[in-house]
Structure 1
Amino acid sequence: MTRTVLIIEDNPGIGELVRMQVTDLGMQAILIDRGDSGLERFRQDGVDLVILDLMLPGMDGLAVCREIRSSPGYVPVLMLTAKSTELDRVLGLEMGADDYLTKPFSVAELAARIKALFRRVDALSAREETEAEAGLLEVDGLRIDPVRRRVFVDEREVDLTAREFDLLWHFARHRGRVFSRAQLLDSVWGYNHEGYEHTVNTHINRLRNKIEADPAEPRYVQTVWGVGYRFMD
């Protein structure tokens, strides 16, 4: 099945360059030059990857990325940015981008990043099929359904983003095991950019706020000081 790539880029030259590269990879490319219009197209479904500029008219790339990550299911996001400061890259990753490219970039590097993201998607799909066979996981009032990707705490359903669910499921499948931030980036995000471990902290704080009765005294996702995090043993 042909993959569909949504390109949201307002620079005509860069947009056309990306569109041509996506087409050369044998994928269908949809090019839109506004953030709000791009988000509307994304919500029509049928998109397998979003290549997203940071600075866009109508709605900026960070806002678009945040809306994509709050939607059901998981679609990888490759963020393009003309800015090269660490803060911009971190903001993109914390909003849920899977990877980023700083302009100017080479066509070869763009192709490599696209292929890498789809390898991660394929690996994730295979892993989810295996995990689904295990059925429900229940522990101390927490119930996780990996097939429907639903989470309940004391019979109350909790609305998690795709990344929050992946993080919780990873912890729950390895109860008692301690993971460093770098290990979590590798296992859950699929990359490990040095210096971005605080992205893990942000997601764990959001996850705790949703599943813990008292996020300051977490029952499920516990901190191991100086090392990382673990799920209750």
Structure 2
Amino acid sequence: MRPKGKRILIVDDELPIQRILRKSLHASGYEVLAAYNGEQALEIVRLHQPDLILLDLCMPGPVSGLDVCVAVRKQGKTPIIVVSALIDEKEKVRALDLGADDYLTKPFGNNELMARVRACLRRAQTTETEEEEEPELLVSEDKYIYMDVVRRQVRVGGQDVRLTPTEFELLRYLMQHSGRVLTHRQLLRSVWGPEYGDEADYLRVYVRQLRLKVEEEPSRPRYIITEPGVGYVFRSPMKRENI
């Protein structure tokens, strides 16, 4: 089925990369917009409200890719996939922490790109649907972590914690299956989509960031526990409450 009506913004100052991305996206049925720097990107977001943004971090001008992340996230929940040649994990983590939903490191294959685009759009659609459902609160047994699934709010130790959309979905899935060891493949496919499954290193980046936000001692986690060579488990027993 063609993704009718879905508009994707490419933000990249490299014309060859823009042409490749545009061709691939057009072939898959998407409407494509393009920007060459951060200022253009924010103006296009304001005027045309794209459904997804493919964003390079390294661009000329005063508005960086990270600045675009911050500005877009303040305005709404438009999915952002960082597409960058940067291999520094700190930069990837920073982009994710500022609100990016996913990242791809150049060079990448067309199949991988399209899989990530489909998964991001699907998660965004799922989130919109869930917001219409009855509120549900997931609570760790010691009441240290509270998650309001519909309002998408998380409190840790009595304090509000801001999670990126992907971090939220990962924590929710872990909490919903508390006590059950979840393999890397299960987590990737359930949170990111069926196109995923073999990116264990990719998952570790998100788990590391999530621990920094919800664990008292991230280096000695109490809740999100690693099962070496297998996956992760949310160890604290859960109770479900309706608000």
Question: CA 1:216–1:51 in 2, change beyond 3 Å: closer, same or farther?
Answer: closer
Unpaired runs of 5+ residues, structure 1, are none
The separation in 2 between residues aligned to 1:209 and 1:6, in whole angstroms, is 31
Q: Name the structure 2 match of 1:98.
A: 102
Match of 2:79 among 63, 75, 81: 75
1:167, 1:188 within 8 Å by CA — same for their partners in 2?
A: yes
How many aligned positions are there? 222
Alignment deviations for residues 122-149 of structure 1 (CA, whole Å, 9 cap, x no partner): 3663477469446221223221111121
Q: Name the structure 2 match of 1:175.
A: 178
Match of 2:190 among 187, 192, 197: 187
Instruction: Spell out the pairing of 1:56-205 with structure 2 (5 A cutoff).
Output: 56-58=59-61, 61=65, 63=66, 67=70, 73=77, 75-77=79-81, 79=83, 88=87, 94=93, 95-96=95-96, 98=102, 100=104, 102=106, 109=110, 113-114=113-114, 117-118=117-118, 121-122=121-122, 125-126=125-126, 129=129, 132-133=133-134, 135-139=136-140, 140-141=142-143, 142-190=145-193, 191-192=195-196, 194=198, 196-205=199-208
2:6 is the counterpart of 1:3: yes
Unpaired runs of 5+ residues, structure 2, are 238-243
2:51 is the counterpart of 1:48: yes
CA RMSD in angstroms comes to: 3.9
What is the Cα deviation at residue 174 of structure 1? Answer: 0.5
2:188, 2:203 within 8 Å by CA — same for their partners in 1?
A: yes
Instruction: Spell out the pairing of 1:13-24 with structure 2 (5 A cutoff).
Output: 13-16=16-19, 18-19=21-22, 22-23=25-26
What is the Cα deviation at residue 180 of structure 1? Answer: 3.0
Match of 2:231 among 213, 219, 228: 228
The separation in 1 between residues aligned to 2:49 and 2:78, in whole angstroms, is 12
Q: Which segment is superposed worse, 40-49 or 203-212?
A: 40-49
Alignment deviations for residues 157-212 of structure 1 (CA, whole Å, 9 cap, x no partner): 11111121111001011111112334323322335474x42332232222222222
The separation in 2 between residues aligned to 1:208 and 1:104, in whole angstroms, is 28
What is the Cα deviation at residue 221 of structure 1? Answer: 1.5
What is the Cα deviation at residue 92 of structure 1? Answer: 7.8
What is the Cα deviation at residue 154 of structure 1? Answer: 3.6
What is the Cα deviation at residue 101 of structure 1? Answer: 7.2
1:48, 1:75 within 8 Å by CA — same for their partners in 2?
A: yes
What is the Cα deviation at residue 67 of structure 1? Answer: 4.0
Question: CA 1:20–1:88 in 2, change beyond 3 Å: closer, same or farther?
Answer: same
- Equivalent residue letter for 1:88: I
Q: Which segment is superposed worse, 31-40 or 21-30?
A: 21-30
- Equivalent residue letter for 1:30: L
Q: Which segment is superposed worse, 201-210 or 144-153?
A: 201-210
Question: CA 1:166–1:32 in 2, change beyond 3 Å: closer, same or farther?
Answer: same
Q: Secondary structure at the match of 1:88?
A: coil
Calculate the TM-score normalised by the size of structure 1: 0.71
1:76, 1:117 within 8 Å by CA — same for their partners in 2?
A: no
- Equivalent residue letter for 2:36: D
2:42, 2:72 within 8 Å by CA — same for their partners in 1?
A: no
